[in-house]
Structure 1
Amino acid sequence: MPDALARLHARLHAGETLLNGWLHLPGGVSAEIMGRAGYDALTIDLQHGLIGDGGLVATLQAIAATPAAALVRAPWLHPPDLMRALDAGAAGVICPMIETREQAAALVHACRYAPHGGRSYGPTRARLSYGGEYPARADEQTLIFAMIETHRALENLESILDTPGLSGVYVGPADLSLSLSGRASLDFREGETAAAVVRIAQAATARGLIPGIFTQGGELARHAATLGYRFVTAGSDFALLEGAARSVLADLHGHPSASSYAAGPPAY
């Protein structure tokens, strides 16, 4: 039976739309809960999450006990962080704040082995997870997403998308709306952000790349899928826990209208 890396790669490249869960919380239990809830993939957030580099392997091990594939959102475009995530067994990486073709090329270079890149050889846990043949197929199956989340990135969108070896792009709506309008919002259905989100999906799809996006789930996730996004984050462990707590307390206090987790601050 194909492993999580091969399954994720095959499903995305077959045109399926996959639901991804986002992990902010340290410790493996929330990762296990999210993985067993039915998400196709889970992304460990090392940029804004609370897991930290020291918790990376334990979280990857927790995800491995579930049917979900594991990705890592790196803290920044820093090759050692990207290589360490892949060596630890991540099926792919999401890199924040990519704004130019040169940065996108540097991202790909850090994640591909020679002669296609400069990833240093040492797939320590990846070989345990995916078998001894992992190095031979890593370049083909490892997912590499460049985050599009600034006005400058939009200006350079086509050249970023034309970077050889890139798997796709991933939209961060909060930073994108902040850059475009001066106000961070996860709701990308109106205004300049809405037009940008549509443009990104169309441009990526036209090039055979995978468009991905962050949402808190529900209506926004469904909307993203209708726009052509095929790697759709639908909720984070932090926001879902907060939302469930708010919902119970709102109900007990007699304020059911406040039960939506969207009423809380975005945990992204």
Structure 2
Amino acid sequence: MQLAVLCAVCLLPGGLALPLPPEAGGMSELQWEQAQRYLKKFYPYDSKSRDVNSLRAKLKEMQQFFHLPITGMLSSDIIKIIQKPRCGVPDVAEYSLFPDRPKWTSKVVTYKVISYTRDLSHFKVNQLVDKAFAMWSKEIPLQFKRIRVGIADIMIGFARGAHGDSFPFDGPGNTLAHAFAPGPGLGGDAHFDEDERWTDGTSIGINFLFAVTHELGHSLGLGHSSDPNAVMYPTYEARDAKDFKLSQDDIEGIQKLYGNIYDFKKE
């Protein structure tokens, strides 16, 4: 949900501001600009066809994803969603990083934490990463092995701003993290914005367990879910850490990729 600096307001002769299209829904110019940037990032469209019809179509797409009335017009409900912190991976499947439903083919997937946050101890970060992997491995026939030397399948780290993957972080709030689908190079890697205030749930901030469990879902090949109860829902919501677990939607999604661990154990 990157909020870039607003462009200067275009003025008509005589000093009158350019009127907003009906799709702006009576919202302010600032809100309309924010919505356009949000749609561009999370519901991408061809830059050659950036007309009112494209914006209307993308607004409808977003409304459908979040189970809102499908009007093709900006609304206060959309503004509320835009203002929430969230994952940096797009919501639209065909434009996301997961168009071909990639997955790991090895039964043992390695991971490595290559950089840490100043907000939590190295021990606590490692502990929460292990816990997140355990939540996923409980449902599928994959084993996850942490390595300390060499290149792992999934490289996990914290960074600020531009960090070498063409998806720079945007400072506190907005985009919290992103991850890449299984594959070589950046494939599977998960990055977290060090400008956030990360917590283990004992203080105010972004709960790292919630975020890393979500991003590792992407690292395993899952896209976003429109189920607000799912770990793979794109926006961040503070939850009761004691009750935090994968939803049925998350479980069904990951088992479509890798199979059911219980059936696997019977073989």
Shorter-chain TM-score category?
Answer: under 0.3
Output the TM-score relative to the length of structure 1. Answer: 0.25
TM-score in terms of structure 2 length: 0.25
Between Structure 1 and Structure 2, whose CA radius of gyration is higher? 2
- Bigger strand share: 1
Name which structure has the greater RCO, CA cutoff 8 Å, separation 6+. Answer: 2
Structure with greater proportional helix content: 1
